[in-house]
């Protein structure tokens, strides 16, 4: 696990998840392996038959000097055409969005777990917080009785 979007489950209802590959430059994969990546503000944009990871920050690799990359450039995602069509249709119909959940390395390649998500309302977030607090209190009481 290299980077996670910790706010995703708090801000959105996650409807469906997919795994996608990333098209990267050499200095970008080295920065990812070093853990210098942030996806907190990132989202997925579908343009034509291609999916793009937009607004993710991969820090410049110090040793690459003049061959470095732009930290905020859009990066192409590798998905099957049928998956891109499904995502595009669902975004247009439901008013949902596509967000990255985490970036990780699998067999030496960078992968992104993306999710089709629908935004939560304020009262949904409060209900989740109340549920989490209640669970925490039950766990605390269970520990005391042991």
Please write the tens of the pLDDT for every residue from 73-119: 899 999 999 999 999 999 988 779 999 999 999 998 999 999 999 98
> Is the predicted pLDDT of residue 65 greater than 80, yes or no?
no
pLDDT score recorded for residue 124: 81
> Is the predicted pLDDT of residue 8 greater than 90, yes or no?
no
pLDDT score recorded for residue 138: 92
DSSP 55: S
**Largest Cα–Cα distance in the chain?**
62
Ranges of beta strands (E only) in 35-108 are 37-38, 43-47, 50-54, 57-58, 75-78, 97-106
% of the chain residues with pLDDT over 70? 100
Domains and CATH numbers, the chain: 3-120 (2.40.280.10)
DSSP 40: T
């Amino acid at each position: 696990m290299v980077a996670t979007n910790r706010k995703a489950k708090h801000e959105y209802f996650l409807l469906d998840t997919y795994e996608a590959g990333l098209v990267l430059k050499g200095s970008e994969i080295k920065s990812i392996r070093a853990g210098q990546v942030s996806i907190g503000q990132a989202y997925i944009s579908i343009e034509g038959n291609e999916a793009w990871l937009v607004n993710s920050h991969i820090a410049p690799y110090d040793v690459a000097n003049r061959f470095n990359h732009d930290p905020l450039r859009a990066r192409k995602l590798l998905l099957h055409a049928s998956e891109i069509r499904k995502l595009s249709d669902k975004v247009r119909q439901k008013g949902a969005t596509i967000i990255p959940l985490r970036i990780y390395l699998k067999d030496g390649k960078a992968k992104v777990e993306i999710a089709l998500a629908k935004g939560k309302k304020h009262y949904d977030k409060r209900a989740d917080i109340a549920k989490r607090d209640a669970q925490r209190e039950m766990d605390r009481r269970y520990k005391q009785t042991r």
